[in-house]
């Protein structure tokens, strides 16, 4: 009678499976024992233990040797699978150690995307094709919360003011300027003189939602300029939505200057010469202090620092 799975899990040993693999290759208990550096009595005992553990005979003994039963053939097949899986496990572990295998979840604000993040990903994929990376672009408040909830491994952004961050570390990477942008043939882009902020406030604006740092800079700019903020606004952190709205309307938007320059070069938008008074705090590399850093994650961190 076949033993319960709990009994098999408790009593089965790797040496039992090693013996079954050797028997499948040699078809002789003596030769199998030699291959495993065991005595024949020890091999006989191990086989008996295995049959007692499973609850059925695995071989038929006769004068010419041993012939596997249907149960024995099944055990040999699964024994080979176990060791193939162990071989694959070893390869995967070695790959993870080398940074070639593993998945790293990266969150980033918009500013580092066109240059820093793109450069990092391209270089890493050239050197480590099997490294998997998942990238999320969002505002810092959303990204940091995801990091603390273990939904991200790395964040390139800022720790928002007032955010509980005792478990986070921050390493400054770069500063970020902001630009006002419009569609290429927008009246504000064609103006020969620099438009005043009060003139621009008459247009609808696409702005980041609260409490993003970019939104705080926009609000600060209007306060310090003593200009009433635009009454017509659309709140979104989606770059695709922003670009689509700019293309089909007279709306204005605020983007990190690095992102704006990227799309200006593609002639998708135009930058307005009117400056923003406020300036964002530097963005940086944010990690969880008490989180073990995997070799794959460390590889990404080192590449970000190098870039």
According to the model, what pLDDT value does residue 192 have?
Answer: 64
**Would you state the structure tokens that stand for residue 255, as one six-digit string?**
């983007």
Helices (H) and strands (E) in the chain, counts: 13, 12
Domain residue ranges in the chain? 5-97, 99-175+282-306, 178-278
Name the fold adopted by 99-175+282-306: D-Maltodextrin-Binding Protein; domain 2 (3.40.190)
- Per-residue model confidence as pLDDT tens digits over 236-255: 988 899 999 999 999 999 99
178-278 has CATH 3.30.420.10 classification = no
- Per-residue model confidence as pLDDT tens digits over 11-58: 999 999 999 999 998 888 899 999 999 999 999 999 999 999 999 999
Q: Do domains 99-175+282-306 and 178-278 have the same CATH topology?
A: yes
Rounded Cα distance, 199 and 227, in Å: 10
CATH architecture, range 5-97: Orthogonal Bundle (1.10)
Return the minimum-mean-pLDDT range out of 37-46, 163-172, 246-255, 275-284. 275-284
According to the model, what pLDDT value does residue 151 have?
Answer: 87
**Cβ atoms < 10 Å from Cβ of 22:** 22
Rounded Cα distance, 296 and 104, in Å: 7
**Cβ atoms < 10 Å from Cβ of 187:** 11
Rounded Cα distance, 272 and 170, in Å: 33
Q: Residue 191 pLDDT more than 70? A: no
Residue with tokens 């998942």: 134
* Higher-scoring residue by pLDDT: 89, 108: 108
Return the minimum-mean-pLDDT range out of 70-74, 196-200, 212-216. 212-216
Q: If you ran DSSP here, which 8-state letter would residue 136 be given?
A: E
Q: Residue 193 pLDDT more than 70? A: no
């Amino acid at each position: 009678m076949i033993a319960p799975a709990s009994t098999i899990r408790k009593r089965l040993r790797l040496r039992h499976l090693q013996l079954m693999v050797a028997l499948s290759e040699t078809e002789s208990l003596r030769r199998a024992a030699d291959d495993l550096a065991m005595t024949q009595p020890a091999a006989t005992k191990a086989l008996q233990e295995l049959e007692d553990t499973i609850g059925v005979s695995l071989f038929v003994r006769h004068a010419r040797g041993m012939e596997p039963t249907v149960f024995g053939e099944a055990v040999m097949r699964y024994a080979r699978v176990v060791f193939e899986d162990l071989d694959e496990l070893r390869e995967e572990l070695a790959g993870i150690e080398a940074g070639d295998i593993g998945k790293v979840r990266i969150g980033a604000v918009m500013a580092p995307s066109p240059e820093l993040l793109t450069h990092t990903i391209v270089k890493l994929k050239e050197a480590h094709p099997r490294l998997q990376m998942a990238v999320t672009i969002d505002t810092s408040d959303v990204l940091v919360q995801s990091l603390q909830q273990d939904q991200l491994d790395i964040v390139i952004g800022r720790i928002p003011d007032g955010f509980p961050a005792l478990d986070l570390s921050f390493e400054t990477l770069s500063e970020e300027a902001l630009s006002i942008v419009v569609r290429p043939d927008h009246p504000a882009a064609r103006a020969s003189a620099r438009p005043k902020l009060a003139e621009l406030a008459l247009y609808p604006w696409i702005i980041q939602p609260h409490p993003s740092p970019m939104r705080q800079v926009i609000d600060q700019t209007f306060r310090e300029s003593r200009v009433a903020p635009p009454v017509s606004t659309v709140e979104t952190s989606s770059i695709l939505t922003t670009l689509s709205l700019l293309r089909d309307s007279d709306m204005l938007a605020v983007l990190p200057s690095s992102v704006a320059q990227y799309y200006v070069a593609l002639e998708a938008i135009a930058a307005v010469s009117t400056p923003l008074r406020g300036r964002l705090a530097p963005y940086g590399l944010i990690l969880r202090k008490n989180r073990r850093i995997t070799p794959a994650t460390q590889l990404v961190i080192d590449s970000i620092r190098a870039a």
